[in-house]
Structure 1
Amino acid sequence: MRIRAVLAVTALAATTALAACSGDTSPLDTTTSMPQQNAVTAAPPAERAPAPACNPRASLRPGSSALPAPGDMPAGSYMETIQKRGRLVLGTSQDTLLFSSRNPFTGQIEGFDVDMGRQIAEAIFGDPTKIQIKVIGYDKRVSSAADGSVDIVADTMTANCDRWRDVNFSSIYYEAGQKVLVSKNSTAKSIDDLGGKKVCSAAGSTSFENIGKRPTKPVAVAKPAFGDCLVAFQRNEVDGISTDDTILAGMAAQDPYAKVIGKRFTEEPYAIAMSKAHPEFTRFVNAVLERNRADGTWKKTYERWLGDFGAAPPPPTAVYDK
């Protein structure tokens, strides 16, 4: 029965898969982007030592004073620069279903990540529509934030110590992690119930590597992209697909005969990336996120985009170390 929708979903699934965060350990690429004024740059990745240990969840503490009124950003701040420009520039993808994908009916890019950007625009302007969405390549998320070509990147982006050397991250706004997608008639409760079964993931991704590390030894099947995994799943060539739960949620939304099971067995904390040149902007963004956790905005955003997959969990707790 699953074969019924292969042609209908393949194009969308393939592009959705391109935005998966699993396996993306890319540092700043300084060979293809010219840094803009005030940008913070770094040496080419090959010349750098491994990143020192850090707490990638710990961001810059918001200021002690209340958020400034929309339209009245502090003089000399990067928020004032954005206000004078008249729009916030958000870097994201257009093919991560539920997080940042192009609506085929309206042509607008929408989703959980896009709403994160709109909430920051609203805090600056009092108007969430004062936002320019710039579609960026998956491998350009770090460099786009670092060189100032966008103000923020919200794109299912995992905060880690290597990236912290190149960009500032906000506090964590979404907790993702690797899970597994199976047929709705499967009795499996987690990936460890698929011992000896074929589980698909993208070749070269950390998701693929993680499948082989499970103690019950599922058989890891590599495909060029996660869209190819979905096709193989619908043709009954594999028993499941494993990657970040955000990507699996998008696949499940396309296939009514599929479900996502089990607890996360990796941690992928998503955060908003910004240039290191403007630490006051990072503190401002964190203040917006802090307010939205407290007033229910985060919960409403979750329910809007991910409510079909269960009740909203508590929002991630902010961690600050500076």
Structure 2
Amino acid sequence: MKGFHTVHQFTPAIATSDGVSQGVFYTQQLLRELGFFSIVYANHIDDALKGRVLHIDEYHPSANNVLFYHHAISHKHHELIMGFPDLRVLIYHNITPSHFFKDSPHLQEIVDCGRAQLRTALPHITASYADSRYNANELVSVGYSNPVVIPALVDMGRCLARAEKAGTNCLPSDVFNLLFVGRIVSNKNQHQLVNVLYSLQEIFGKDRVKLHLIGKVSEPEYMDFINAHISTLGLANMVNIVGLASDELLYDYMCCADLFLGLSEHEGFCMPVLESICCGLPVLAYKAGGIETTLGYAGLLSCKASNAIAQIVAGYIKDPAKLETLRQSQQKHLQQFSGAHLKQQLREFLNGL
């Protein structure tokens, strides 16, 4: 492939439970299967990953290297990396717009800086790709030419293997279990999920539908608001806030729940949607950002009103056959995320450098 044999990767931070990090490791796997020597470098490295990932200070720049530069947040090594002689490829995972963090000036500053770095990187980038069409369109709006879409974030084989080992009795069987997985942050709209649950209780009566929320708390003030909202609506017994979950527990929930419901205002890709489908869990999600790439057309929600969404969900609760049809349609959509398909996309991309 154009004479180079080394394709390394840089990401500002890498962690065991982070979506972008999982994508970095999966990309490394695909690169190695294609025959490339590939090491992951980062600045902030989880203790559990030290040895598997090297610090960026250990990197040896070379004009003979290709460097995949993952961008999803601002970081202090940006200018250093832009000065490397390597052939740089930008991989864009999206940066949440700062207006979603109006109550957090610190987060606003971080994401605005990240978007500024996206622009200043442009003259130094040979090629780019994104994990969703939405993210690729953002690159075009900044000035990047012909970014392609390669959604190499979720190892389907690994997901399916995890799903086979998952428990199937972790949730009560006498209620309809709604699940959402995502950081507790205002743009994920968990409070609206609570509103939908309240409307569903008005339709079916109390104790018939339960909501489970999995995810790290990124905005403590928003978590406080959600808790107060749950209390005000009298739903304390029907909302289960799990917090950050291990992979094992996450897959148990995905395999036991009845429906994944996502109402985020902004998503670059939303890996839990794809993981849920792998687990056989049907998904309904609001059409925001990159959700259409991840989910396809089956299960996309275009309405925002909680009452209207509750009526849609109620239709699936009342008609299990309709829910099964949704599940089967979404299973077909998984084919474009297969390892063989992604590896071929990556091969063609690298051949074009």
TM-score normalised over the length of structure 2: 0.29
Richer in helix (by share): 2
Say which one has the larger Rg: 2
Greater length-normalized contact order (CA 8 Å, ≥ 6 residues apart): 1
